Amino acid sequence: MSKEEIQRSIEAILMVVDEPLAEVVLAQIIEVPTEEIAAILAEMAESYDREGRGFQLRHIAGGWRFYSHPDLAPLVEKFVLDGQQSRLTQAALETLAVIAYRQPISRARVSAIRGVNVEAVMKTLVTRGLVEESGTEHETGATLYRTTSYFFEKLGVNSEADLPALAPFLPDVDGLDEVLATLTD
């Protein structure tokens, strides 16, 4: 199979995916070595950027996918949202942050950290595909939650390890070390 045929095959497959696709999956489908697929994907991504296309090929959340170019976001948002905003509430954002930095975590632990009942907010986050169940706590039997690959994709990072550090965003407070210790338990 020629390089051009491989590129066309990759484009056709990535055009229909709804989440990033790993190089190894593409290699299996196209029946080409993973290393060759990885090299071609990197070359394609660079070529699209150099040509100034309205889309990008990016490696996000452990796989590859086409995305609209960031500088065209306002236009795409206008088309997709048709004037409607579907934003998360402050409570949902706070709950999502707790889950992202403490995962896997139980609903009760999130409520304890936030100091409010988070049941309705958790349902919203699960419904939107940002949070998912990830097992049970062996001591209590409580359901544990974690962020999804969709969350990382929307954030533009590959994993939990790529999340920004919290320390620069925290206030300078006496006793902060004790507070931080409770958050990392």
pLDDT digit string (tens) for 82-139? 644 567 888 899 999 999 999 999 999 999 999 888 988 998 899 888 999 999 988 8
Q: Do domains 3-77 and 90-183 have the same CATH topology?
A: yes
pLDDT digit string (tens) for 54-98? 999 999 988 999 999 999 988 887 776 664 456 788 889 999 999
What is the residue-averaged pLDDT of the chain?
A: 87
For residues 183 and 185, give the distance between their C-alpha atoms in angstroms, rounded to a whole number. 6
Q: Which CATH class is domain 3-77?
A: mainly alpha
Q: What are the tokens at 155?
A: 């954030």
Question: Hey, where are the domains in the chain?
Answer: 3-77, 90-183
Helices (H) and strands (E) in the chain, counts: 9, 5
Residue 184 has pLDDT above 60, yes or no: no
CATH topology of domain 90-183: Arc Repressor Mutant, subunit A (1.10.10)
**Report field, pTM of the whole predicted structure over 0.75:** no
pLDDT at 35: 97
What one-character DSSP code corresponds to residue 103? -
R_g of the chain, CA atoms, integer Å: 20
